[in-house]
Amino acid sequence: AQTVTQSQPEMSVQEAETVTLSCTYDTSENNYYLFWYKQPPSRQMILVIRQEAYKQQNATENRFSVNFQKAAKSFSLKISDSQLGDTAMYFCAFEETGANNLFFGTGTRLTVIP
């Protein structure tokens, strides 16, 4: 069974600074996807970034980038130039290729301080 672990329940960062959120996962699969989702107080889950396990290159989306370490089963999210609108719960999620269902971690609550 797949498990996703987020060991940081809460984090805070000063506006314009950089923060890294941690995620580890456990799977016996070789082909899968990893995701970071953002859930603001409005509750709508929004995809931040996606990584295919077969790609060695780390995914980037503007201010968001990941550090994907397949052997270590680690998938951290780096947010650069943090903005007040980044304040939200962040969930790491795993999906086996073709399964189309997500396994989520317990989340990290990020607060950006002005």
Partner 1 sequence: ETGVTQSPTHLIKTRGQQVTLRCSSQSGHNTVSWYQQALGQGPQFIFQYYREEENGRGNFPPRFSGLQFPNYSSELNVNALELDDSALYLCASSHRDYYNEQFFGPGTRLTVL
Residues 6+ apart with CB under 8 A from 3: 25, 26, 103
Residue in 7, 31, 69, 106 binding partner 1, rule: CB under 8 A? 106
Residue in 25, 32, 107, 110 binding partner 1, rule: CB under 8 A? 107
- Rank residues 52 and 65 by Cβ distance to partner 1 and give the closer one: 52
Q: Is 110 in the site for partner 1 (CB under 8 A)?
A: no
Instruction: Return phi, psi of residue 55, to 5°.
Output: -90, 130
What is d(CA 2, CA 9) in angstroms, rounded to the nearest whole number? 20
Q: What is the DSSP letter of 9?
A: S
- Rank residues 28 and 42 by Cβ distance to partner 1 and give the closer one: 42
Q: Is 50 in the site for partner 1 (CB under 8 A)?
A: yes
Residues 6+ apart with CB under 8 A from 60: 49, 66
Give bridge partners of residue 67 from the DSSP assignment: 76
Residue in 16, 47, 84, 113 binding partner 1, rule: CB under 8 A? 47
Residue in 8, 65, 76, 102 binding partner 1, rule: CB under 8 A? 102
Stretches 24-32, 56-64, 68-76, 93-101: which one binds partner 1 (CB under 8 A)? 93-101
Dihedral sign of CA atoms 85, 15, 59, 102 in order: negative
Q: Which stretches of the chain bind partner 1, using CB under 8 A?
A: 4, 35, 37, 42-47, 50, 91, 93, 99-107
